Structure 1
Amino acid sequence: MQSSSPQVMSFEEYVKHDATALAKLVETGAVSPAELLETAIARAEAVNPTLNAIVTPLYDKGRTMAEQVPAKGPFSGVPFLLKDLEMEWAGTPMKSGNAGYQNYVSTTDSEVVKRLKKAGLVFFGKTNTPEFGLTPYTESTLYGPARNPWKLTHSPGGSSGGSAVAVAAGIVPAATATDGGGSIRIPASCCGLFGLKPSRGRVTLGPRFGELWNGAVAGHALTRSVRDSAGLLDVVAGGPTYRPLAGEPYTIAPPERPFREEVSREPGKLRIAFSTQSLMPSQITDPECVNAVRETARLLEQLGHTVEEVPLPYEKTIVTEAFFVNVLSETAAVLRELGHYLGRPVRRSDVELNTWAQARLAEGFSAADAAYQKRRWNTLNRSMGQLHERYDLFLTPTLPRPPIEIGAFQNKSSEQRLLKLVDSLGGLKYLKNSKTVEDLAERSLGYISFTVITNMTGQPSMSVPLHWSADGLPIGVMFAAKLGDEAMLFRLAGQLEQEKPWFNKRPVF
């Protein structure tokens, strides 16, 4: 007797539901986890060859998980994807977008992965990321570019670009994402999704990591609905029953109630400051991004909130110097870890040219330089703290421009030649004060100048998909709250989602 294969829910029906609704269908017996998984796999096989969202398909492992779903998990049976960075899943590859880790296989689960499993989510693949998550676009040499389903010639952002593409294209309703300079909020903005970066200390990076990028990195998810984001944060952060993992470098007060409950609560009358001012003199905020913020400000006023325009409470060098040195030093540390794994010094051929160049540039800075620039983060903390004494939230564009074309931030041929030449002469570390390096830093860091601020301060912030450009590309707006106040963000996001729904606005792909 032949065994019958699982019935497959149609994609048209599947994509009408967020993760919360799919879990409800499983709970009531309307669908099975296996049925949902086969629908997700079918969608992946149809679109992934073009979009390049999933770089490590793990369909058979997913099918095994679907047979063992816990009965009472809040997301039992829901198909889900893990970013190929910092998400250890025992028995599966984690290459971090780098050829040197081609043969790396995780031997244990990250704590977050354990919690997601307990919640009943069904993993079936790893998503595209740039090498070591170092860029705000997803175009690694190892994997190739992920493509934005809203326009295939354009980037979905990074570093959680593959996760964003998978969610926007309807493969899954949610996927993991991490954020060290905007890597949740940037792809959320580029792909028309909701993306919240939690407060420092809210979500563990353990047990492998205590902190990353001097506390700038936070982990969570990309979703289409606000309630999915809130529910997933309850899962990975522990909600009101939060207990820090042993050895955590940061702790934070647990929320008053589950974040999922905040979504339907009234936010009250909020005091909101906003700015569209460009941080980089050479880069003017695109009119579409300015318009997105101003339209949002008008909507907020209509909803009864007090909104006031203010100048940016921080200066350019906070990003181009204080954060740039952090990026360089962390890149050098990543390569040192890679060398330990390989059992030999890292070679130029093991990594991409820019990764190599950043690590070599780090050699031009002393320990005193790094410590001095890290101390400057406190200046930013105090400035933002003073702003939040007057205002509940701070509104800006998520990005200073709409989604970029694929390849827009790749080195110019002249820059590529110069980096190769200077490296061959052993002089990269002496370029730290050169015009070439200054231009490279301003071009790449200018793109994340709005998002990176809350990575440095540790505040929670969210990108909300409230605007689309004239040519149909998504443009997010970003709100920042005080440290520990994700609840306020979820309350406002729930209100905005009701007033200006985006869930059914999907790319025609």
Structure 2
Amino acid sequence: MKPSEYTDLDATALAALIRDREVSADEVREAAVTALAAAQQTTNGLVSGPFDTPLDHSADGPFAGVPFAIKDLITHAAGVPTRSGTRMLGAGVPMPADTALMQRFRRAGLATLGLTATPEFGFNANTEAVATGSVRNPWDRTRSPGGSSGGSAALVAARALPVAHGNDGGGSIRIPAAACGLVGLKPSQGRTSPGPDYADPLLGLGVEFVLTRTVRDCAGLLDAVHGYEPGDRYRLPDPARSYAEDARAGSRTLRIALHTEPFSGGGAVDPRCVAVVESVARTLEELGHHVERAAPDLDATAFDDANFVAWTSFLADGVDTVAAALGVTPGPDSLEATTRACADHGRTLRAADLYAAERVFNLSRRAVGLFHRTYDLILTPTMNVPNTAAGYLNADDPSLDARGWYDHIFSTAGFTALSNVTGNPALSLPLGRTDEGWPVGVQFIAPYADESTLLALAGDLERALPWADRRPADPTL
């Protein structure tokens, strides 16, 4: 298989070729390694790999032999050093065991070839950690691929991988999906297991899944890896039929709320993002859906204050846990300036502050839950802007205090954090582009545990507004 043939195929197509013995898994791996080497030169999306041989995986899984990579944060594989984007962990600390999701990735047959870049401890909508360097967007190398799953997004967009792992605590799957022209699903809280290391990562805001180029890959991977693990706090009902079937079958008639003002962060919204969403709304009406302007009743200021508590307490816990485990003292030589500022602020918080934040989160969940009694989906831009310039979200900027850094991030991403707090599934689709050729993401939010409605509509939109022929120019492949 030539690398140029490999880059044309999504994970579902590659798995079918391998299963039908039209191409061997080794041939696919060789093409992937060549594509990864080329993409690494332009994106810097890998922090480890490509491995000489993939990590062990099932030869019978639905995606057996399909090249894959895991983000270097939260999910980890036995024996593989992890760094979490921070100099605190040096060259990386080998992990003693797989996480539950890693075990499911292996059972699905995914052939893990490396680890992808993350910002330090994941708290950025960009991916430019001091520890590992700047990741660039393959659509325009002067732009960021977004974050915090920016390494994965850059490699999938560059077609070096058909699919890669990501996680999402405030938009970290959907933001890079939007910036890089990908499909990015944040599943419902509890749909994928965070175990055994976590019960509720980031006070429940963090969820694990993947970034893909096609809806069928997104649906098929969710079929392969969702589900309860012993000790998980949540046990969601299984879908009535497979997510892949939902994506193929298409959607019932829906009532959809259109909203183009940020839920949080307070930043202005680029008119190009609004125009794309409004154009998608017209397409939805042509498909028979009912679209009207509406939004849940939320207190944006209280929401940001509570989300700020969640993020800074998470940073403090992460920094202090690593410091205690390794016997190191965090400082400017091992931590970026805004990480230190956030961790310092997190250490000042009291139990009462966390309970106060949870009260706000509860009100947000109730408001969105009631809103979904009337509306099946909420339609918004994914980001306030199509993307950001490389270096704009500089986590090592000493002029920013903790709140200044939080506000800086969410002024570019005011639509994504709400569904992390409520636990609702949310999906970004690459349904527009700018005059520069940059992708523009459009977000859909569904009721809790209703990924089926999202993926059914996504299948229709992929057919109505196809994006498969859009790809960054890459003369190396």
Q: So what's the TM-score if we normalise by structure 1?
A: 0.90
- Residues of 1 paired with 2:444 and 2:342: CA distance? 31
- Residues of 2 paired with 1:139 and 1:281: CA distance? 21
Alignment correspondent of 1:354? 338
Alignment correspondent of 1:460? 425
Alignment correspondent of 1:33? 25
Q: Secondary structure of 2:444's partner?
A: strand
Q: How does 1:473-492 map to 2 (within 5 A)?
A: 473-492=438-457
- Residues of 2 paired with 1:411 and 1:209: CA distance? 25
Q: In the TM superposition, what is the alpha-carbon distance from 1:13 to its structure 2 partner?
A: 1.4
What is the aligned counterpart of 2:60 among 72, 81, 85? 72
Alignment correspondent of 1:314? 298
Q: In the TM superposition, what is the alpha-carbon distance from 1:446 to its structure 2 partner?
A: 2.3
Alignment correspondent of 1:97? 85
On the 8 A contact 1:87/1:94 being kept in 2, the answer is no
CA gap of 1:281–1:214, structure 2 versus 1, over 3 A, is closer
Q: How does 1:106-505 map to 2 (within 5 A)?
A: 106-238=95-227, 244-279=228-263, 283-311=267-295, 313-410=297-394, 416=398, 418=399, 438-505=403-470
Moved more, 309-318 or 13-22: 309-318
Task: Tell me which amino acid in the other structure corresponds to 2:121.
Answer: F
On the 8 A contact 1:83/1:126 being kept in 2, the answer is yes
Deviation string, structure 1 residues 223-261 (Cα, Å, up to 9, x no partner): 0011111111111114xxxxx211112221111122111
Q: Secondary structure of 1:178's partner?
A: strand
- Residues of 2 paired with 1:311 and 1:87: CA distance? 34
Task: Tell me which amino acid in the other structure corresponds to 1:407.
Answer: G
- Residues of 2 paired with 1:283 and 1:252: CA distance? 35
Q: Secondary structure of 1:17's partner?
A: coil
Deviation string, structure 1 residues 76-112 (Cα, Å, up to 9, x no partner): 1111111111121112111111112124001211111
Q: Secondary structure of 1:376's partner?
A: helix
Q: Secondary structure of 2:53's partner?
A: helix
Q: In the TM superposition, what is the alpha-carbon distance from 1:151 to its structure 2 partner?
A: 0.2
- Residues of 1 paired with 2:422 and 2:237: CA distance? 17
- Residues of 2 paired with 1:119 and 1:228: CA distance? 12
Alignment correspondent of 1:49? 41
On the 8 A contact 2:264/2:304 being kept in 1, the answer is no
On the 8 A contact 1:97/1:132 being kept in 2, the answer is yes
CA gap of 1:258–1:350, structure 2 versus 1, over 3 A, is same
Alignment correspondent of 1:422? none
Q: Secondary structure of 1:389's partner?
A: coil
Unaligned runs of 5+ in 1: 1-8, 239-243, 420-435
- Residues of 2 paired with 1:18 and 1:279: CA distance? 34
CA gap of 1:245–1:278, structure 2 versus 1, over 3 A, is closer
Deviation string, structure 1 residues 470-507 (Cα, Å, up to 9, x no partner): 11111100000000000000100000001111122111
Q: In the TM superposition, what is the alpha-carbon distance from 1:340 to its structure 2 partner?
A: 2.3
RMSD in angstroms over aligned alpha carbons? 1.7
Q: In the TM superposition, what is the alpha-carbon distance from 1:448 to its structure 2 partner?
A: 2.4
- Residues of 2 paired with 1:48 and 1:197: CA distance? 26
- Residues of 2 paired with 1:282 and 1:276: CA distance? 12
CA gap of 1:260–1:438, structure 2 versus 1, over 3 A, is same
Task: Tell me which amino acid in the other structure corresponds to 1:352.
Answer: E
Moved more, 128-137 or 274-283: 274-283
CA gap of 1:350–1:281, structure 2 versus 1, over 3 A, is closer
On the 8 A contact 1:263/1:490 being kept in 2, the answer is yes
Task: Tell me which amino acid in the other structure corresponds to 1:227.
Answer: R
Q: In the TM superposition, what is the alpha-carbon distance from 1:115 to its structure 2 partner?
A: 1.2
Unaligned runs of 5+ in 2: none
Deviation string, structure 1 residues 314-370 (Cα, Å, up to 9, x no partner): 232144201011101110000121122212443443211111110111233322122
Q: Secondary structure of 1:221's partner?
A: strand
